[in-house]
Amino acid sequence: MMGLLLPLGIEKGKEFKPAATTQSAMAQSARDAHAWLMNGLLTSNTAFWPTSSWSFPAAPVGAETAFSFGRPNYLDLDARALVYFLAYAPPKKLGAATFYVGTYKDANGDLLRGEESYKLHVPPNVPARQFWALTLYDRETCAFIRDMMRNYNPEYLVPGHGQIVAGAQNVATMLTNYRDAMQYVQDQSIRLMNMGYTPDEIAETVKLPEAVQVEPWGIEYYGNVVPATCTAASSVGGTAIRPS
């Protein structure tokens, strides 16, 4: 991979200063890759029910290879890119009760839209004591947090992982710290990518500053900075190169 980056001017330990033409080409490449990823979320999945829009959100190769995406004769780069575009960081090992289905379409086959209202029919006897959650994402960014949620000034926050956060100030502090932590990981990952660091080297280098390591939301429980930096290195745009 590093041999492919060198002609573009990315060399380890050196500042990346692309010419205007290179910046333009890379920006267009990032837009093309983003469009491919968004379309891939709709087309690269396996239906759970033949007559339903619900499907497994990621290719089986992820879980089958403990999310290394390595097959005997090749590395499944397309599946890896889609998983890291969709998810922040996969688990190292799926739990016994871990099971996900997702959809981007309603019962009529039309794409879900944020301005519309929908009714979700949940079958009886959901094993909620093991794990059960409903999470909504924006397909364009695969994100649901950042400043959008802070701007609502919510009194309560019910996260997909962890305890309910109560009180407007507590919610605002939690969301601010979480946003700053994600932004720091992304910014530092891009900076090191542009200096020629590999994903593994970035994962070993980037550490969260103490200011955002506030219990329990800034501590590495469900995920950690190592896969998060690999996610950033696989899915960010701008002038950085996608390592694929």
Question: How much is the pLDDT for 234?
Answer: 41
Structure tokens at 221: 């429980």
Query: Which tens digits make up the pLDDT trace of 146-157?
Result: 677 788 888 988
From the number of C-beta atoms within 10 Å of its C-beta (0-12, 13-18, 19+), residue 163 rates as exposed
What tens digit of pLDDT does each residue of 196-244 get?
888 788 888 888 888 777 666 666 655 555 545 444 444 333 233 333 3
Q: What is the mean pLDDT of the chain?
A: 79
What pLDDT shows up at residue 146? Answer: 62
- Judge whether residue 2 has pLDDT over 90: no
Tokens of 237: 């745009």
Taking only the tens place, the pLDDT of each residue in 224-235 is 555 454 444 443
Determine contact, residues 236/228, Cβ cutoff 8 Å.
no
Per mean pLDDT, which of 8-17, 139-148, 186-195, 205-214 is the most reliable?
Answer: 186-195
pLDDT of 157-178, one tens digit each? 877 667 788 999 998 888 888 8
Please provide the DSSP assignment of 57-117 as one string: SS-THHHHTTT--B-SS-B-HHHHHHHHHH-S---SS--TT----B-SB-TTSPBP-TTS-
What pLDDT is attached to residue 237? 32
Query: What's the pLDDT score for residue 144?
Result: 57
Predicted pLDDT of residue 115: 84
**pLDDT for 143:** 67
pLDDT, tens digit, for every residue of 108-138?
889 998 888 899 888 888 777 777 777 777 8
20 pLDDT exceeds 50?
Answer: yes
Give domain limits for the chain. 2-235
What pLDDT does 242 receive? 31
Q: With 0.75 as the threshold, say if the pTM is over it.
A: no
pLDDT at 68 over 60: yes
